[in-house]
Structures are given as structure tokens and as C-alpha cells.
Amino acid sequence: MTVAQTTNSAVTMLYGHVGLRIRGEVGKGFTEKSLRRMIHFAEAFPDEPVVAALSQHLSWSHFVESVSLRKPYRPR
């Protein structure tokens, strides 16, 4: 097997496993749109202490709106 074939096989298996995990463990009860929002949220607010502090004052709806307005948060 060539390096390209080995890499392709590994990537294919990885994506398959991720898909199964999303479907079986993460995606139950969530729409695709909701999962995308959660991913965007995690990308925009990767700092858990910041999210914990803000969540005391903001609802999920506020976060969803702010994610669509801003670039991902990057701590300095």
C-alpha cells in the first residue's frame, strides 16, 4: 500500500468514527443546525472560564447572536 492509500484509509476511518460518535453519543435529539451552532460557539468562545462568567448574565440566545456577529475569540 502506498503512503497516499494508507493516509486516505486512515482519514476515511477517522471520519467514519467521528460520524458514528456524533450520531450515537452527541447528536441524539439535536438538529444539524443546533450542532453547527454549538461548534461555532465553541470556536468563538474556547475559554471556559470566560463562558462561565458570561453565562451568569447571558442566555444561550445571546451567545448564538453574538457568534454570528464576531470573529472567533482568541486570548492574548
- In the predicted model, is pLDDT for residue 14 greater than 80? yes
pLDDT score for 3:
93
Q: How many residues does the chain have?
A: 76
Instruction: Tell me, yes or no, whether 66 and 46 share the same domain.
Output: yes
As given in the structure block, the three cell numbers for residue 75 are: 486570548
- In the predicted model, is pLDDT for residue 49 greater than 90? yes
- In the predicted model, is pLDDT for residue 25 greater than 90? no
- In the predicted model, is pLDDT for residue 73 greater than 60? no
Q: Which domain holds residue 72?
A: 31-76
Distance CA 64, CA 22 (A): 21
SS3 at position 74? coil
Instruction: Tell me, yes or no, whether 22 and 40 share the same domain.
Output: no
Instruction: Tell me, yes or no, whether 40 and 65 share the same domain.
Output: yes
Read off the pTM.
Answer: 0.63
